[in-house]
Amino acid sequence: MSEAVRLALLIGGFTLIGISITAGVALISQWISAHFTELWLARKIDSYQRVMNLAADFATDPNNSKKYLPFVGSLAAARIVASPKVNDLLTERHDNSLALNAKRLRNLKKEELEAFHRTKWTDAMESIANAMREDVDEMSARSLSSSRNSSQQTLAC
């Protein structure tokens, strides 16, 4: 075998190795990114679900500290993963926020609770549920779009 053929085979072999490594790194990066996004989305959904469950539990007995404190803790935890819109509705920045209406609920007399539940509390729960749903939908759409773009880039390699 001539030197030129050996050199061509050697260059071709190194080129194939380089292409394989590049494709492998791209696939691993895509896999890590997709799993991180899935994990983040799952944590966000879990956090939002915990807020809604504890809010419902708290609303049945608003003066019970054993129900109020876990609810307040869930609000703080959800703020870590919340979108700005959800965050506003979790905190006291908005008149229709869950935190503000929870404080109002705790200060009501027993005879005022039912009317408050039907109006302000229901409105606050619906607002936060809608904002959470929109946040999860947007994140899912971004994740899907990012996943498609990564697949196309990997195929282009």
Structure confidence by residue, pLDDT tens digits, 9-51: 767 776 777 777 777 777 777 777 777 788 888 999 999 999 9
pLDDT-flagged residues of the chain (< 70): 1, 10, 14, 144-157
**Residue 6 buriedness (CB in 10 A; 0-12 / 13-18 / 19+):** exposed
State the pLDDT at residue 150: 53
Q: Are 125 and 132 in contact (CB under 8 A)?
A: no
Beta-carbon contacts of 150 under 8 Å, excluding residues fewer than 6 positions away, are: 26, 29, 30, 33, 34
**What gap in Å lies between CA 17 and CA 50, rounded to an integer?**
49
State the pLDDT at residue 120: 94
State the pLDDT at residue 151: 52
Beta-carbon contacts of 45 under 8 Å, excluding residues fewer than 6 positions away, are: 136
**What gap in Å lies between CA 104 and CA 101, rounded to an integer?**
5
State the pLDDT at residue 6: 75
State the pLDDT at residue 152: 55
Closest Cα partner for 48 from 108, 125, 140, 109?
A: 125
Beta-carbon contacts of 34 under 8 Å, excluding residues fewer than 6 positions away, are: 143, 146, 147, 150
